[in-house]
Structure 1
Amino acid sequence: MSAEKGLESTGPKVRASTDPAPSPQENAPQFSIITPVYNPRYRDFLRCAKSVRKQSFRDWEWCIVDDGSTKRLIWPIIRILASFNRRISARRRDTNGGISVTSNNALELATGRFIVPLDHDDRLKKKALQLVSEAVERSPEAQLLYSDEEVINARGRLLKYLRKPEWSPERLLCQNYCNHLSVLDRALVQQVGGYREEYDGAQDHDLVLRVTELTSNVVHIAIPLYQWRAIPGSTATAVTEKPGAIDAGRRAIEDAVRRRKINGEVIAAGEMFHRVKRFPSSAPKVSLIIPTRGTDGPIFGLHMPFIKNLLMALNRHRTYPDLEVLVVSDAETPSGAIPRTLENLDVSTIPFPHPFNFAAKCNLGAVNASGEILVFLNDDIEPVSEDWIQTLVAHLEPEDSGIVGPMLIYENGLVQSAGHINPGPVIFGRGESPLSKHGYGMPLWINRETSGLTGACVAIRQTTFYEVGGFSELFPNNYNDVDLCYKLQLAGYRCLWTPDARLYHFESKSRETPIEDWERDLASKYWGRFISTGPDSHTT
């Protein structure tokens, strides 16, 4: 028996916890694969073992801990594996401790720079560790790497390919989208205390949340390196197979919200996931900037100017305390389009005596605004959520939040925009139900980073807006919002989208805006490298 009571060991001698960490001269491996084992099907575990032994990259060790399996051949198989390969170390627990306790036992055996969690019935692709090592060479500062993955059935046949988004910390606060394969810096894992057994079922999500509070050096490898086996009882089949995992995930997120001092509430996002509904910690002055030319059209069966409908709706449903409204109007705007007296709104009209230029009108409104937060609105908008302004303000509280947008829906209730995705840029979610589960991780249900946002409704701090130079007037009609979002990302800010703020957008009723070839060419000239990738590149 080992010095630790209840753990039988085999394989290379285990370093005592009081020994110094291995130095480079001691030839510690780059990767420590850790696998807690409990009663897997023999065939599945042997295939798992084969996937490790057949890795094209050889600088690894495999740390296996049997969590008191009751299948009598599991431990003998593990001992045989360890006896024939000096890179495999193994322990056996006399009592079942659960996945977190057993994973921590495996972590104690690890000596590599990175740990590579591997479930006992899953498989690594043959070049998995090689491609991770190459990614580390390209990004030596990386402390968390994650890859795309494949879901396979009991016979090993491919069921689906999970294409994951680029690094998205806001999404991670809703769901563990990194999942398999995740490769973590071992020193960082030890620094945060390893796995916590009170979050069994969501222990990997809890660990990644804590690790990423200490590092933003995250790399996405957009290749499937892991095969997740869907068998009865596995969340690869359905998360409802382990209902306790859903509750554990909620509690892990709630703990992260407390640690990060976020003013918010963890709410359900469908049956599987959660999201943080944020509330503002203060009420900074907000300036609503609304370009208009007084166009009218049908709105829910009534024919009226869009700007009039918007202002009347804002007046009826005002819930935000410190608010000013700036209407930037063309000379052709009819005099009766803008209501003169609104008891709940402070409305100022700013004339724009130039040819139509949406970007220039927005910039003129910003120059005249006195609010800490600028909200740019099309005139063919009508709020649905009573607290939509509060929600947008709350998402701008983190220092690295650059801009935030809401869910925009058509008059018929279908989605008009849920952010931009790349390559494209393409408007995500258009024409779908707000309840649609389309896309990886149900992106219409969760807060997330996005490649861009439509300028029909966005909120941004005034200081940030000026820092990046506002809207580029080189794009008078289209791509001005795309340009703004890329400038923000280049400056290190995040573009955020949330379904907790919803507004109607009567798109194309106020102004038809066909995209010209020169606009596409100019956008590509400036932002071609951004257009090819982004936080939501693989949302669909």
Structure 2
Amino acid sequence: MAELVVLTQGPPDSDVSCTPLGRSLGCQTGGGWRLSPAPGGDLQPDDIVMVLPVETRFARSACETILQAFTEHPEAVALYGDCLVGGRCHSRPAWSPTRVQSEPGASLPLAVRVSRPGFDPADDPLEQERQLAESNAPVLHLPSVLTIHPDWPPPGDEFLMGDPRFEPGERSGTRRRCPSLRGQASTSIIIPSAGVSRPATTRSMLSRHLETLTLLDPPPLEVIVVIGDEFRGEPPQQEDLKGSGLEVKVLHRGPGTFDFSRAINLGLLACRGELVLMANDDLEAETPDWLGRMAAHLDDPTVGAVGAALLYPDRTVQHAGMVIHGGHPRHLFKGASFDELGTGMVIHGDHPQHLFNNMEPAGTAAHGGDVARDAIGVTGACLLARRRDLLAVGGLSHDYPVSYGDIDLCLRLRRTGLRVVIEPAAVLVHHESASREPVIQPWEWNRFIHRWGEVNDPWFHPSFRGPNHPDPKDGNTDADPTDTDPDDDAATADDNAAPTDASGPARSTAIRSRMHESWVNIPWELPAQG
């Protein structure tokens, strides 16, 4: 029978039973656990191992919950939960290999099966986490507090910078992938365009976007502009871009109203690149390395699509990854200041509110807002993928001419076993809907919910909720202000008392759906597409 073996990080001759860790274990319900000095002695193949400092405390019934989760999920090789650090709750998303590569320690402490291939109890927990991420192993998340820590120091520079694929991140304890110039040079960029100009200007959004692309070094393999009958002005000509390094060609989509999905698919069939970037024409890049940073993630064969951070002109977040809440795809951190993503604050009217329920100023950072991470989906306004993967799933669905085609594509890529990630270090300004009216057709929503039902987003914590916004499709996602500190009971008790109960079903990264009623009261008949 499996046993939870807690390996202690502390003086080898100390009496662990008198430490906070030992006292909290003494208050655990049930049995099936034991203490052992690291690196462990007589471990059995069925055992589960956790490496913890002696200052850590277990939440009440945490050990029993961990063992039960492993019993119910024999495929899982490791598990982690939420935690309290310095009295602040870290409500974590589901397992993200990209997140723990960008922020080592983001899922610690881990409970790991001894039977995991390559397991060595002498390995540092950071090394165990790295191996799990590199091997794409099945790792569970329990959305409840399992452990309580006085603090959690970031990994040292020797671990952070020991991999040549990465460079230091903006925040201490984080890193980001070095740009892939090879991937950038092998990218075909597809831009559907109506040739519209921003208000009070005469220069088209497309020309501004093409100017942004001339800053890329090396230049992309090609740029394909797809236009329709609605295009205003003269399409770009190759001779107008001499000396820019850009190879630009124009395709005509054919008659009919604007159709983003058909335009992308037309470009997809005509392009030559190994990688394909679908891009709106109302984007402007802040730095010349954005495409290389996105392309670097596709060096990982388990990643199928990559998104960028898109900002409004006032530098508030328009897109930093998607979540699905109540069946509705929404933009995460929408409305937050991009320059303050690590503060966890977003302004709704005149009232600052914390994002999520991390109960700390670094709320967005605790959720990974400022590091690359897995997401349920990313916007098609700037999405990079391999051409072969897009062709394998049939490109964008023609069922969604304007809206929901991107999240539908991401879900189909995930269904093939590929991951979707967001790279916040790739930053562009998005003049959202500057080239068309921001209209979401109810029948597109009905098609989406009819196909997918209400998707359970593993990276959206069960304790999070959406804002009280009159439009169910709008807004970002915030914490319920009625949420309470899960360690309230323990905070008023002495150190011998057991902390709060751990509860909540384990979550894998599998995408599951249940049927969901449409929120619009319209006839089910759908309009024919011209």
TM-score range, shorter chain: 0.7 to 0.9
TM-score, normalised to structure 1, is 0.74
Structure 2 residue aligned with 1:194: 121
| Contact in 1 for aligned 2:81/2:143 (Cα 8 Å) | yes
1:282 Cα offset (Å):
5.7
CA deviation after TM superposition for structure 1 residue 267, in Å: 0.8
Q: Is 1:533 equivalent to 2:490 in the alignment?
A: no
Query: Against the structure 1 CA distance between its residues 286 and 113, is the aligned structure 2 distance closer, same or farther, given a 3 Å change threshold?
Result: same
Output the CA distance in 2 between the equivalents of 1:40 and 1:521.
65
The reply on whether 1:433 has 2:337 as its aligned counterpart is yes
Q: Is the 8 A contact 1:164 1:440 kept in 2?
A: no
1:120 aligns with 2:54: yes
What is the aligned partner in structure 2 of residue 129 from structure 1? 63
What amino acid is the match of 2:233?
Answer: S
- Structure 2 vs 1, CA of residues 495 and 456 (structure 1 numbering), >3 Å: closer, same or farther? same
When Rg is computed on C-alpha atoms for both structures, the one with the higher figure is: 1
Give, as a single letter, the amino acid of the residue that structure 2 aligns with 1:167. Answer: W
- The CA deviation at 1:41 is 12
- 2:250 maps to 349
Tell me how far apart the structure 1 counterparts of residues 187 and 433 of structure 2 sit (CA, whole Å): 27
SS at match of 1:34: strand
**Residue 35 of structure 1 pairs with residue 8 of structure 2:** yes
Q: Which amino acid aligns with 1:306?
A: M
Aligned to 1:516: 441
Counterpart residue number, 2:83: 149
Query: 1:453 maps to which residue?
Result: 378
What is the number of equivalent residue pairs in this alignment? 436
Alignment of 1:46-445 (within 5 A): 46-63=19-36, 65=37, 103-104=38-39, 107-111=40-44, 113-151=47-85, 159-188=87-116, 191-195=118-122, 203-214=124-135, 216-228=137-149, 230=150, 234-235=151-152, 239=153, 245-246=154-155, 248=156, 250-255=157-162, 257=163, 264-281=165-182, 285-298=186-199, 302-315=201-214, 317-336=215-234, 338-339=236-237, 341-343=240-242, 344=244, 345-352=246-253, 353-423=255-325, 424-435=328-339, 436-437=341-342, 438=344, 439-441=364-366, 443-445=368-370
Secondary structure, counterpart of 2:388 in structure 1: helix
TM-score by length of 2: 0.75
Distance 1:284 1:498, change over 3 A: same
Superposed CA offset, 1:91-150 (max 9, x none): xxxxxxxxxxxx22xx12544611123331222122212222222122102111111122
Amino acid across the alignment from 2:270: N
**Is the Cα–Cα contact under 8 Å of residues 36 and 119 in structure 1 kept in the other structure?**
yes
For the residues of structure 2 that align with 1:524 and 1:183, how far apart are their CA atoms?
Answer: 37
* Partners of 2:259 and 2:128 in 1: CA distance: 49
Cα distance change, pair 42–373 in 1 and its aligned pair in 2 (3 A): same
Deviation by residue 1:56-79 (Cα, 9 ceiling, x = unmatched) = 23122221x4xxxxxxxxxxxxxx
Residues 176 and 484 (structure 1 numbering): CA distance in 2 closer, same or farther, change over 3 Å? Answer: same
Kept in 1: contact 2:313–2:431 (CA 8 A): yes
Q: For residues 524 and 425 of structure 1, what CA distance do their matches in structure 2 show?
A: 10
Give SS of 2:145's match. Answer: strand
Structure 1 residues not aligned, in runs of 5+:
1-27, 66-102, 153-158, 197-202, 240-244, 259-263
Change (3 A) 1:470 1:485: same
8 Å CA contact 1:455, 1:481 repeated in 2: yes
CA gap 1:121/1:313 in 2 versus in 1, 3 angstroms: closer
C-alpha distance in 2 between matches for 1:109 and 1:46: 23
Residues 305 and 44 (structure 1), Cα distance of their counterparts in 2 relative to 1, 3 Å cut? farther
Q: Measure, in 2, the Cα distance between the counterparts of 1:289 and 1:52.
A: 57
Q: Distance in 1 between matches of 2:160 and 2:182?
A: 19
* Deviation of 1:29 (Å): 4.6
SS in 2 for 1:364: helix
Q: Report SS of the residue matched to 1:336.
A: coil
Q: What SS does the corresponding residue of 1:252 show, helix, strand or coil?
A: helix
In the alignment, is the contact (CA less than 8 A) between 2:187 and 2:275 conserved in 1? yes
Q: Which string of whole-angstrom CA distances, capped at 9 and with x for unpartnered residues, describes residues 148-178 of structure 1?
A: 12235xxxxxx32211111100110122455
Q: Equivalent residue for 2:399? A: 474
2:183 and 2:252 map into 1 onto residues whose CA distance is 32
Structure 1, residues 399-423: CA drift from partner, whole Å, max 9, x if none? Answer: 1110111111222222221111232
Larger % of helix: which?
1
- Aligned-partner Cα distance in 1 for 2:13–2:196: 66
- Please tell me the root mean square deviation across aligned C-alpha atoms, in Å: 2.8
Structure 2 unaligned segments of length 5 or more: list them. 345-363, 465-476, 479-530
* Contact kept? 2:393, 2:413, Cα under 8 Å: yes
State, as a whole percentage, how many aligned pairs show the same letter: 25
Q: How far is 1:44 from its partner?
A: 10
